[in-house]
Structure 1
């Protein structure tokens, strides 16, 4: 504590007294305290480009909640500071009673009222999350601490599952509790994580389910359902936060476990490894495990992205993750930029409104691809009138018909494989005055058609019945010539 105070803390009694330098970020020290004490934090600045110059930190991945709907209040640099209820819960649960906890939390470490700072700091989030000692995935409180009881009842120390043999004692302890308990009112996060630990270790003994009352096992599975439907799983920002992290730990209520332990269960379920164990469990309970597909999909994408050193294509990411939510519609684009090929030079800009963001980045994608393909797959999804008709609504979800059309998009190739040349005429928001795309080299196309005509005539001369081939071949050439002729008139 004294080392942090001596080397990093300032005397500023306001959260953001000065602007950050280009290579700087803020970290927050969550000061020690008892469960019912006010949450107190101190911000300090460090260089993200010089790891030796800043202390190890953990980055928090969480669902914001609805800004302004309800608020908790903490002390930040000695000032009262409003945070969302979910963040207030996270800070209280992560706080240590004796030592400060150093974190990176977007709502605290970025001045959310400064668009320029938001833009520059969001551009660093890939680096921030990948440089963290670990990323904490906070899924919220378990049901036993809801309904206003959070502050009145200390949940006790964090129960840590490690994902290896050291969990054996914890597993036995919870199984004894399940076997002896007649009540299901107090199913807690450690109970859920114990079930996950058992499934992760592939414990298939029929005796397991025989020792546990059916109603109790059902209650644990139902609590697992609640955890797997937490808002975190639907949030757009968690894709980048989870994918770039070197190490992740899942925190739910007063229990924690490595991400890998949860991912293992998802993989075991998909591969059918758990079938023997699940034979002795009610089908209504096992339906819950279908929700593990969201764990498996995220973990699979994590592996896929890490195999692509250069990053991925923004357009494909927008389509793949269109079903995820954000409190700011611009973040449907900004949250994915850190996963993209860095040569695309994509930089978020919070000074632009939502429509400007959608138009600007669409034009940038069209110019980079030298194709109008980013316009595809937008039929029937737009319900807003403030977005130009030709601009996809990135805040809407791609449906099955959109995905079906996009899967066939590569089959359309009127330019014969020649990349388009795109001109942005002006910033008017009508497609006719914004974008013109052309892909044909006119003179080259005419020359190619002439060569094809000569070859056709030569082949017809060698055929004994040339009239059998004439209609189809000539029709194809004439259609190509018609296309080129029309483009020639447009030149």
Structure 2
């Protein structure tokens, strides 16, 4: 595939005020690797007259671009995943099948940031929080459609609608009324509890509906570190998978509902009450796939709550340990520096990104920043050498013993006594 020098496409952005580039897709088709996608890209100043735009949250996919598009008359290589999104955007504009405005500008990091200019990239990454929070909407692009993705996203919407219309934890007696409540809500009954000839509810985790829902949350998209601030800071998020969609708010509604049921069922069991017919449902909701899905969604909710709370700087730094440990340990980044840079929009730390510095330097300086303050010593509980469990994709770095290897948190095992020492 022919490539072009980035300097042919990008002009230098102003340093006196924040500027960003916005993309407008004019036309195009992708067939058998050939593309005729044509885009215009404009530079705008980040102020009150900023035009409406939609931000894209997605995975880059393969390292080498495989498809060429035309931007401002210049041929530019992009990944097949990004090309699939652009094609879907064009198709939706043709048939008006979406609920958001698809004729306006797009902000896409791979195209709107000159990835070859480390200084520009540092400035733009530091502004990512503002870029996503100022967008009219954000699209969480999961990739092309799979066999069960359509029914999964459709039932997320329908179940959320039924939950909003009829569910109130304070008015439902889980022991006495739950079976009746399910029967009055056929959408939820079909997805959660299928009634047989004996009218006994049987939870079918492997039915088509739940297979579709769970597979949506097993996609690589949900392991990407950058999506944390992209989802949490956005005004509105729509999940797209091929031509199918669901609002992120509906996902949160489903998560709250299932969490309520799990908690209430657990409380009934603790009181030795006989839940009779609902035992199978309780067991299935404890399935690892369901638990992992709920854990992932709950993380976004808690992250959003933490940045909205009005706390002192010290209180924020104390809670920062949990936020960073969870975020760096559960999500992945191709560039290990992005384990930290991807969170700067949601943590209260003055630490500007600098892609001209090495990973070791960035991790050392960030650890210093965390250590300063009243609760800084808490961070030493996750610092220093650690054992790595099995083959991993982490980067082996030469770091001082007191510096945290943020890239390896998901793979580290540490003595319980050491963590307990700093927890006192």
Q: What's the counterpart of residue 87 of structure 2?
A: 92
Moved over 6 A (4+): 214-217, 273-286
Larger-Rg structure? 1
Q: What's the counterpart of residue 10 of structure 2?
A: 16
**Residues 264, 334 of structure 1: alpha-carbon distance in 2 compared, 3 angstrom cutoff:** same
- Residue among 331, 334, 350 paired with 1:345: 350
Q: Map residues 215-364 of structure 1 onto 2, 5 A cutoff.
A: 218-272=207-261, 287=287, 288-290=289-291, 291-308=293-310, 312-313=316-317, 315-323=321-329, 324-341=331-348, 344-364=349-369
CA contact (8 A) 2:238 2:247 kept: yes
**Residues 194, 403 of structure 1: alpha-carbon distance in 2 compared, 3 angstrom cutoff:** farther
Instruction: Give the Å deviation of 1:193.
Output: 1.8
TM score, norm. by length of structure 1: 0.63
CA contact (8 A) 1:61 1:137 kept: yes
Secondary structure in 1 aligned to 2:8?
A: coil
CA distance in 2 between counterparts of 1:216 and 1:370 reads 44
Secondary structure in 2 aligned to 1:327?
A: coil
CA distance in 2 between counterparts of 1:310 and 1:103 reads 36
Q: Tell me, which stretches of 5 or more residues in structure 2 are unaligned?
A: 1-5, 95-101, 164-180, 197-202, 266-274, 389-395
Instruction: Give the Å deviation of 1:387.
Output: 2.5
CA contact (8 A) 2:21 2:42 kept: yes
Q: Map residues 452-491 of structure 1 onto 2, 5 A cutoff.
A: none
Instruction: Give the Å deviation of 1:293.
Output: 2.5
CA contact (8 A) 1:278 1:286 kept: no
Q: What's the counterpart of residue 39 of structure 2?
A: 41
CA contact (8 A) 2:205 2:211 kept: no
CA distance in 2 between counterparts of 1:138 and 1:192 reads 15
Question: Are 1:396 and 2:405 matched, yes or no?
Answer: no
Instruction: Give the Å deviation of 1:322.
Output: 2.0
TM score, norm. by length of structure 2: 0.72
Instruction: Give the Å deviation of 1:336.
Output: 1.2
- Residue among 13, 27, 40 paired with 1:32: 27
CA contact (8 A) 1:269 1:289 kept: no
Instruction: Give the Å deviation of 1:380.
Output: 4.9
**Residues 224, 282 of structure 1: alpha-carbon distance in 2 compared, 3 angstrom cutoff:** farther
CA distance in 2 between counterparts of 1:286 and 1:366 reads 38
**Residues 103, 14 of structure 1: alpha-carbon distance in 2 compared, 3 angstrom cutoff:** same
CA distance in 1 between counterparts of 2:217 and 2:8 reads 38
Instruction: Give the Å deviation of 1:103.
Output: 0.9
Deviates more, 1:290-299 or 1:105-114: 290-299
- Residue among 45, 50, 63 paired with 1:67: 63
CA contact (8 A) 1:382 1:396 kept: no
Q: Tell me, which stretches of 5 or more residues in structure 1 are unaligned?
A: 1-11, 145-186, 412-491
Question: Are 1:51 and 2:48 matched, yes or no?
Answer: yes
CA distance in 2 between counterparts of 1:232 and 1:367 reads 34
* Superimposed CA distance per residue, residues 124-174 of structure 1 (whole angstroms, 9 cap, x where no aligned partner): 111111111111111222224xxxxxxxxxxxxxxxxxxxxxxxxxxxxxx
Instruction: Give the Å deviation of 1:25.
Output: 0.9
Q: What's the counterpart of residue 105 of structure 2?
A: 102
CA distance in 2 between counterparts of 1:75 and 1:194 reads 34
Deviates more, 1:98-107 or 1:113-122: 98-107
Q: What's the counterpart of residue 121 of structure 1?
A: 124
CA distance in 2 between counterparts of 1:309 and 1:46 reads 35
**Residues 284, 38 of structure 1: alpha-carbon distance in 2 compared, 3 angstrom cutoff:** farther
| Larger RCO (CA within 8 A; separation ≥ 6) | 2
CA distance in 2 between counterparts of 1:247 and 1:29 reads 20
Q: What's the counterpart of residue 159 of structure 2?
A: 199
* Superimposed CA distance per residue, residues 255-281 of structure 1 (whole angstroms, 9 cap, x where no aligned partner): 122111111111100101898998897
Q: Map residues 360-375 of structure 1 onto 2, 5 A cutoff.
A: 360-368=365-373, 371-375=376-380
Aligned pair count reads: 351
Secondary structure in 2 aligned to 1:42?
A: strand
CA distance in 2 between counterparts of 1:369 and 1:82 reads 49
CA distance in 2 between counterparts of 1:401 and 1:58 reads 43
Q: What's the counterpart of residue 137 of structure 1?
A: 140
Q: Map residues 153-172 of structure 1 onto 2, 5 A cutoff.
A: none
